[in-house]
Amino acid sequence: MKKNLKKQNIIQLIIALVIILLVSYISSNIYFRLDLTADKRYTLSDATVEILDSLEDVVYIEIYLDGEMPIGFQRMQKSIHELMDEFRVIASSNIQYQFINPSKSSDQSKRNALYQDLYDRGLNPTNVKDRDEEGGLAEKILFPGAIITYQEKETPINLLVNNPGLSAEVNLNNSIQSLEYKFIDAIRKITTKQRKKIAFIEGQGELDEFYTGDITRSLNEYYEIDRVTIKEYINILDPYDAVIIAGPTEQYTEKSKFIVDQYIMNGGKVLWFVESVKISMDSLSAGGATFALMNDINLSDQLFKYGVRINPNVIQDVQCAVIPVNTAIAGTQPKFAPAPWLYFPLLVAPDNNPVTKNLNMIKSEFPGVIDTVGSNSEIKKQVLLTSSPNSRVLNVPLLVSLTQVSEKLDPLTFNQQNNPIAVILKGQFESVFKNRMINEYIAGQEFNFKEKSKFTKMIVVSDADIIKNDVRQRADGIFITPLGYDRYTKQTYGNKEFVMNAVHYLVDESGILDIRSREFKLRLLDKSKIQEEKTKWKIINTILPVLFIIIFAILLAYIRKRKYTL
């Protein structure tokens, strides 16, 4: 009997050890995680998993968000920590990260030196106010960003979304929503070996390399950028994954149009910045008035065939940027003051598309209205940017005068809502040269003409100033102002990020940009309700637990007394 019992115990022990080893093996070789959150905030996208899984070396991430911070930034730090842990589940030791407090040193000079170093490396500081230990307000400098290093390359990430039109809580929530995209986009940028090619088309009076200098520099971090003249060779655009047409002012020849058309028919992507109205800002600045006239660049029929029409008009918007206006009396020292300029609408980017989600307002200058036209069911159209609900449209020819800044607005005339300024087109397009003679364009070159395109995409914008940066001549040379920066208000608008997202949308096929569409619900406490009910909840949280323990102790003593009393 004892022998059988001993044998049975040994068998049970062996079975238990086998089960433990089997569970250990399965858990170490099979990836399984369960995300029970309603908005799936701990579930990485397929594009993120693919990039992390393909890492060949260690990506080291320094996150400068540590130490004493306001509660909102603590929540952001916690979200980053959770995201990094999720990254490590996929990439294992190829993701290494560290949280750093840039204000840790008690030596002011060392702190300032570190601040300057982080700024020089691309991180933007932000000033925040927080309660100190004595209840007073203390101002602190934070660098809500990270430096990513891979092999011998590094890139900065600024993690804080700072839209002046939104509250601090909403901006922080939007920042947390975009964490996965910002980190994985930076990792992709720094680890990509073979980069795609983008071309700026020139030869028809498009913006030159200086006026597109800032966006070219930013795009060059992701892609190979060229400038291409398209007047001669039919296949000159074939090597490029996308082309940008930025503000032509001269007419396209039929051959140039043919080259762009057949590039699209072969699946090429185009980002159009085309204006149907021309206005001389130099004349406006010098004389105080100028005329807005039609800008005939011979592309109307081509864009109409693809599904849009850019109308020869100008939008005025109550929601607009400011310009400096001389308010001094004639003959006295000039005195400039900012004044709203209705011709410079500030466009609010909607959140229903990954290209525009969580963007700051976008500054435009003399934009026109885009109409979607045609009945081709194979072309899907979506409006990207619009004017505000308080705008109006003026047809050309039109006299534009600086004296208009002092005119009293009639709100009843600004009754046109959300005029389209940028549109996405995607699908299979018909060639504008279908059923036309094309021999003179080919001129003996070997070419396979296509009447219908492969599936492709394009974005049409009715204002080239959205992609145009300011250029200033200084003693030390030409200075290129960052795209979207307004030197009068010292504010940076969302122009650069919009253009970058538009190019990524056209070129990227991995789905990384779709991560921007993720939305985490903002569950904020009702501050007014907190003030009204704080005493009640303090009593509930302090007295009720103690009262419950006392009642439980009395009840337990009573039960024991009843049970053991004879």
pTM attached to this predicted model: 0.80
Task: Report pLDDT digits (tens) over 333-343.
Answer: 777 778 888 99
- Check whether residue 306 and residue 348 sit in a common domain: yes
- Check whether residue 158 and residue 283 sit in a common domain: no
In a domain, 549, yes or no: no
Task: Report pLDDT digits (tens) over 452-471.
Answer: 999 999 999 999 999 999 98
Last-in-domain residue among 190, 212, 241: 190
Tell me the range of 32-41, 328-337, 540-549 where mean pLDDT is highest.
Answer: 540-549
pLDDT class of 369 with cuts at 50, 70, 90: very high
In a domain, 229, yes or no: no
- Check whether residue 344 and residue 432 sit in a common domain: yes
The stretch 379-408 carries a mean pLDDT of 89
Beta partners for residue 155, in sequence order:
148
- Check whether residue 178 and residue 87 sit in a common domain: yes
- Check whether residue 290 and residue 408 sit in a common domain: yes
- Check whether residue 73 and residue 20 sit in a common domain: no
The stretch 370-385 carries a mean pLDDT of 90
Q: Is the pLDDT of residue 418 over 80?
A: yes
Collect all residues with Cβ–Cβ distance below 8 Å to 403 and sequence separation of at least 6. 288, 289
- Check whether residue 308 and residue 360 sit in a common domain: yes
How is residue 345 written in tokens? 């609408």
In a domain, 91, yes or no: yes
| pLDDT at 232 (0 to 100) | 76
Last-in-domain residue among 487, 509, 531: 509
pLDDT class of 358 with cuts at 50, 70, 90: confident
Distance between CA atoms of residues 82 and 177, nearest Å: 13
Instruction: Map residue 501 onto helix, strand or coil.
Output: helix
Q: The domain containing residue 10 runs over which residues?
A: 1-30
- Check whether residue 357 and residue 504 sit in a common domain: yes
Last-in-domain residue among 478, 509, 540: 509
In a domain, 127, yes or no: yes
In a domain, 563, yes or no: no
In a domain, 406, yes or no: yes
| pLDDT at 33 (0 to 100) | 58
In a domain, 35, yes or no: no
- Check whether residue 329 and residue 405 sit in a common domain: yes
Indicate the number of domains in the chain. Answer: 3
Here the CATH number for the domain that contains residue 110 is 3.40.30
Instruction: Map residue 101 onto helix, strand or coil.
Output: coil
Q: What amino acid is encoded at 223 in this protein?
A: Y
CA angle, 147 then 153 then 157, to 5°: 25
In a domain, 12, yes or no: yes
Task: Report pLDDT digits (tens) over 17-70.
Answer: 888 888 777 666 655 555 555 556 667 788 888 888 888 889 999 999 888 888
- Check whether residue 25 and residue 114 sit in a common domain: no
Q: Is the pLDDT of residue 413 over 70?
A: yes
- Check whether residue 156 and residue 305 sit in a common domain: no
- Check whether residue 81 and residue 12 sit in a common domain: no
pLDDT class of 518 with cuts at 50, 70, 90: low
Q: What amino acid is encoded at 105 in this protein?
A: S
